[in-house]
């Protein structure tokens, strides 16, 4: 446990009914991210440094044992933190469920969590088409996302795929291309589309986005749901 002596956590949300499907949970907000999406509504977490140690975080989680079903690892990008799997193992030893929110940029970490049975649910962000990925995320990590998706799709771990949509960044044609990408790879879960959050501070200076037109999107095999 000496490897867990760093301060990776920016903040803790003590309770949520929304972030882990059908479960009560807390959210651990890991600091830092390897993407810089302009619509990100957690700029202080993405750009900030951790303030809370693994030990302090685990102490809080222990205090919630019996009151919560699980723990959500979010951020920022939680899989950036090389000892996150050890922390997930410690949470699992408490008898609690672990969910991770990830942009898919660290397939090796996701694979390790699955193989060691240290994760119970994954929410995978599908940021953009391959051709627009660098523009949307300011990174070149589509290949890593694709590998993470394939790892999850071959596993027995429940997972969802979700996309935050800003009409200036992703067109209806782009969304249909992303739906086809999932369908071609035999994804059979729900694809959640999320309208951009306005009236909050974002990482970039963005304009208002047109709402998602669900009627313009088609799939015979995937349920497409607008989450907000």
Structural domains of the chain ordered from first start: 2-226 (3.20.20.70)
Answer for the pair 37, 81: CB distance below 8 angstroms, yes or no: no
pTM of the model: 0.95
- In angstroms, the CA 27 to CA 91 distance is 13
Under a CB-based contact definition with an 8 Å cutoff, are residues 175 and 163 in contact?
A: yes
Identify the pLDDT of residue 1.
46
Length of the chain: 228
DSSP-derived letter for residue 141 is -
Phi-psi region of 118 (alpha: psi -120 to 50; beta: other; left: phi over 0): alpha
φ, ψ for residue 73 (rounded to 5)? Answer: -95, 115
Query: For residue 2, what pLDDT is reported?
Result: 47
H helices of the chain, in order, are 43-47, 54-63, 84-93, 107-115, 133-137, 142-154, 172-184
Going 214 to 220 to 222 to 223, the CA torsion angle's sign is positive
Q: Is-contact 2 168, C-beta < 8 A?
A: no
At residue 45, the pLDDT reads: 92
* Interior angle at CA 101, CA 205 and CA 139, nearest 5: 50
CA 64 to chain centre: 23
Spatial contact of 6 and 87, defined as CB atoms under 8 Å apart: no
Predicted local confidence at residue 3, as pLDDT: 58
CB 84 within 8 A of CB 43: no
How do the pLDDT tens digits run along the chain, 228 residues long? 445 658 999 999 999 999 999 999 999 999 999 999 999 988 899 988 899 999 999 999 999 999 999 999 999 999 999 899 999 999 999 999 999 999 999 999 999 999 999 999 999 999 999 999 999 999 999 999 999 999 999 999 999 999 999 999 999 999 999 999 999 999 999 999 999 877 777 888 788 899 999 999 999 999 999 998
């Amino acid at each position: 446990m000496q490897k867990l002596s760093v301060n990776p956590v920016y903040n803790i949300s003590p309770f949520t009914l929304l972030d882990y499907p059908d479960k009560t949970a807390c959210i651990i907000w890991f600091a830092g991210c390897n993407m810089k999406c302009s619509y990100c509504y957690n700029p202080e977490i993405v750009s900030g440094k951790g303030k809370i140690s693994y030990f302090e975080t685990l102490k809080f989680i222990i205090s919630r044992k019996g009151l919560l079903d699980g723990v959500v690892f979010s951020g920022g990008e939680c899989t950036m933190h090389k000892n996150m799997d050890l922390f997930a193992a410690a949470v699992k030893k408490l008898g609690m469920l672990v969910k991770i929110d990830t942009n898919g940029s660290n397939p090796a970490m996701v694979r390790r969590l699955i193989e060691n049975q240290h994760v119970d649910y994954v929410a995978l962000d599908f940021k953009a088409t391959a051709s627009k990925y660098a523009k949307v995320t300011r990174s070149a990590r589509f290949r890593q996302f694709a590998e993470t998706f394939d790892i999850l799709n071959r596993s027995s771990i429940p997972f969802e795929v979700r996309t935050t949509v800003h009409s200036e960044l992703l067109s209806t044609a782009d969304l249909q291309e992303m739906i086809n990408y999932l369908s071609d790879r035999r994804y059979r879960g729900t694809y959640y589309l999320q309208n951009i959050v306005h009236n909050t501070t974002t990482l970039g200076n963005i304009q208002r986005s047109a709402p998602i037109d669900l009627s313009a999107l088609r799939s015979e095999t995937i349920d497409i749901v607008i989450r907000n």
